[in-house]
Structure 1
Amino acid sequence: MSKENKGVCFAKGFTAGAAHAGIKEGSTKDDLAIIYSSTPCNAAAVYTTNVVKAAPLKVTKEHLSNGRAQAIIINSGNANAAAMNGELHAIETAQKVAEVLGLKPEDVLVASTGVIGQELNVDAILKTLPKIELSNENSEAANLAIMTTDTKTKTCGMSFELNGKECHIGGICKGSGMIHPNMGTMLAFITTDAAISSEMLQKALKANVRTTFNRISVDGDTSTNDMVIVLANGQAENEEIISEGKEYKQFFFALHQVMECLAIQIAADGEGASRLITCTVSGAKTEDQAETLARSVVSSSLTKAAMFGRDANWGRVICAMGYSGADFDPDHVDIAFGSAKGEIVLCKDGRETKADDDVAYEILGEDAIDILITLHEGNERATCWGCDLTYDYVTINKDYRT
């Protein structure tokens, strides 16, 4: 297996394109993107758990009822959520893409991101769609078009072998704020040329979301528009995966690598963030226990603020563990902070170690910080990702709508 900086055009038969429609007044960036497969795909998706679901998500869910799709249309600048004619506009968008590409409307999936509660400028979208040029060189252009408050594109690819055939998985995503498990304002689009049934694709996607996108947190908010979509067109010509076995495990692992890579990039690009925080809980009785504790730590505003200030305040870590809802013995907890500058143990058996604050300050000055927690209760572990909380987070969000 080989991980590469490749996106949705990495797999055979996939192209993408982007254009500027002017969806958000005053914005000059490309805000419309299409991802297209030259042949029909088996497809799978996972959606936000927010009760308020955006219109594009509802339309996509309906179009995916048969487990098939061939194109995705994405717009930024407007979420098309809680809008008067939201579903009508999402349907009109899918119909126009189908007309342009010679597809059935139900083979087109729809995604949107941006401001909630405002009417979508669907006329601008319908007018711009025919102008989008598709190419296998346009993954980065599509990635840029779907960004909102993101400061950088997020892409990842993996090549691997199935039944002697070279296969590829590539993905792009957007996400910076409103990020929290189950999921947060994030859209992820993954393509593969591997042949796999819709049922097995859905199974692999759902299981991998739990250990990747559902283990990141930026600010505790879960959005109305989140979705992860995977398209598989089978052009690698491997024997189709229709059940669990060796080939399914190989595909599952490759998909996990791509999804984890994308998830970490989202956490690192949290709104206003200056540091990626990785929290690993080991020595747990169960993976669920470890995950609950790690998630609570990376979601803690006080811990995130301490990381921004390079303050080795392990008390905030054990406090976040304490209200996580997970059962553990606080008198047997070890806590260490680490980075490229080294590692320092701050808490042993639930008590401070009198560690050198100056050394800790140097360690916490790096762009990527590890919070390492050991429970001494078992052999299970889990990792979650987040970022620090900076002044810029408030600056970005105080006037996001205007």
Structure 2
Amino acid sequence: MLNLLGQILTYIVPFLLVLTLVVTVHELGHYWVARAFGVKIDRFAIGFGRALFQRTDKRGVEWRIGWMPLGGYVKFSGDLDASSVPDQAGLDELKARIASEQGAHALTDYYHFKPVWQRMLIVAGGPFANFVLAIVIFTAIFTLLGDQIAPPRVAEVPSGTPGAAAGFRPNDLIVEVNGRPARSAQDVIRVVSLSSNTPVIFTVERNGQPLTLTAVPERTATEDAISGRVAVGRIGLPLVTRRDEVRFIRYNPVEAVGAAGRQTATVLETTLSYIGRIFSGRESGALLNGPLGIAKAAGGITSQATEGEAPASLKAINLALMLFQFAAILSIGIGFINLMPIPVLDGGHLVFYAYEAVARKPVAAVVQEAGYRVGLALLACLMLFATWNDLQKLNLFKFLGGLVS
């Protein structure tokens, strides 16, 4: 029982806290933009299923928390279907009903009768809020803690590795990777891990002189407490940093915002690069995570932050910082996914509204229905694929094989 409680506190609770924060901010993005345009809203919900908490405010909005905290939604008055994009017949029916019950003047309060550009901004408000959350978190961290520059040096060059084949030598200082500054070992790992079988150009400093080397990372199976078992690019070079070369940069609030924006852009760029390599067949997609993988990562972060002999207060601060950083990265990912042009996601709604803006009429009902079904199928396939990855990373199949062998 104690072990089960420990697992819940280590994995489930941090996962739900981080996910709830990201989802709440996403839905608030939709909500506040809709409020700014005077849209009538029926419900703001976090979680699904039976309500654990619900309250209706003076504007008539029901605020609701469901027992299953794995998502959320904003329900606008007059929503006819799950896609929230009715066709012309649905709009005409809704307009007639509202006009007969409340008068024609009430139409301006309803989401579906707002100008298309306003509806597009309301839809985009959710992903935009996710990016803003990431920037706010990174800004707070850069303002409070600054940034650490830890130049990566090659500790040793094992024979037979891609690094050895490229001509690296011990004590080489890696200055740039593919033309980007290498401020820490993580900057190197980020590029190399997503460049399996693809040449990576390094600028190194050797005995005070610049030198260009090209290495081709090999896809190698690795395992750590956060990601689990994954196969990523490696060049086989242990990296270290000299203590006398480590320096800290302090930012004022304005500089911190700029640094946070650059950090957010880097995460987005890495995500786009990885997705592009999947579609081009150069990556397997093994790094895509589902709920199990996210929970595993949250648990790994919790374990790392709380291990050691430090005082409990310092562990708590370290844990909070690491989970906030994790929330920022997850928020960027959720914002990006929601902008994908799949009908059941915000990006799909934007595609429908873009058509409406050009054609001056909503997408036909039959097209919306087909798109909605295809979108659900695509999301189901994506979730199944991500869950399969999660189970493989957790070595569940190997564990079950051991049970039946």
Structure showing the higher strand proportion among its residues: 1
Q: TM-score, normalised by structure 1?
A: 0.25
Structure showing the higher helix proportion among its residues: 2
Q: TM-score, normalised by structure 2?
A: 0.25
